[in-house]
Amino acid sequence: MGLKIIIHNKKGFFFTVSAIFILSLFILGYGIYQMTNDRTPINKRIDSLNDFMAFYEKDLPRQIYITGFRSIFLAEKSIVITGNPVNNISAMLSEAFFNGTMNGEHQELIVGARLSDLQRSLSLNSRIMNLNGSLNARSISITQEDPWNVLITLDANIYIYDLEGLAYINTTKNITTYIPINNFEDPLYVIYTGGIITNKIKKTIFLPFVTGSDVTNLINHAKNSSYIDSTLAPSFLDRIEGRITPSPYGIESLVDAQRLSLQSIPVRITSCVDYIYLVNNITTSHQIQGMPSWFRLDDAHLDMYNVTGLVI
């Protein structure tokens, strides 16, 4: 009888252990399920935060494009009004972006493109998604990496966080955008003709300049004062600052001396290349077969315009 009681107790013991084990698995599984459910709102907020950040990173270059474009316009306006080049275009851009001023004077044109405007826009748009965002700009600069565009670079810290405290992004980025120089006024024409003659920058379509002895394209290129890239010439930003030194990102046009003559600007006996002609830099120059009598080129440009064999 005692032996049967012992066996019975063993069965109960194993049953109890099995029940406890099964119950533990259930509790553990339920706990994992609850933990997974508890993270669902967090994951959704992280996704929302990432989506907003991705959108903002795409939109910010558009906003600094506007800042850069308007600042260049203001620089050219200043040149027209004063007749003088801008001392430092990067400093002027920074003043416009951070303060909304140029030379200490309020500029209505830059309203909407200042740092404070970008900060306000970020704050308002992030609130729509129950987020909050701040933009802390360290610097903004304008440079060139090619002849036909200027590069605007904004160095900024971006901090965006969920208002419920579930997630945040804190990052520092260089935001860049390119602004084509096409259709901006060439400052050299304004500065060196006293504003009498202006010339919009337009990349030439008249290529090749010369075919055999046919100079039709070269005539059209010169009469339109169109532009080519040239490492012998100053860049667009150099021109804004009044420099005529060679640049890897240089551009140049040929001055239509007849057009200037019609505005009572005397024809000069020198190369028609703009940064030479406009500043009255007297150089050894040559007339070219088939070209108007006022048209001349210096030695360094004969090959560039395909006229080496057409020198008179």
pLDDT tens readout for residues 106-165: 999 999 999 999 999 999 999 988 899 999 999 999 999 999 999 999 999 999 999 888
pLDDT band at 33 (very low <50, low <70, confident <90, very high): very low
Contact 285, 298 (CB under 8 A): yes
pLDDT over threshold 90, residue 75? yes
pLDDT of residue 1: 42
Tell me the C-alpha distance between 10 and 39, whole Å: 43
- Burial-class residue 212 by CB neighbours within 10 Å (0-12, 13-18, 19+): exposed
Cα 247 to its chain centre, rounded Å, is 19
Q: What is the pLDDT of residue 97?
A: 98
Residue 197 has pLDDT above 80, yes or no: yes
For residue range 206-255, what is the model confidence (pLDDT) as tens digits?
A: 999 999 999 999 999 999 999 999 999 999 999 999 999 999 999 999 99
Q: Are 279 and 244 in contact (CB under 8 A)?
A: yes
pLDDT over 90 at 56, yes or no: yes
Per-residue model confidence (pLDDT) at position 310? 97
Taking the domains of the chain in order of start, what are their residue ranges? 43-180, 187-310
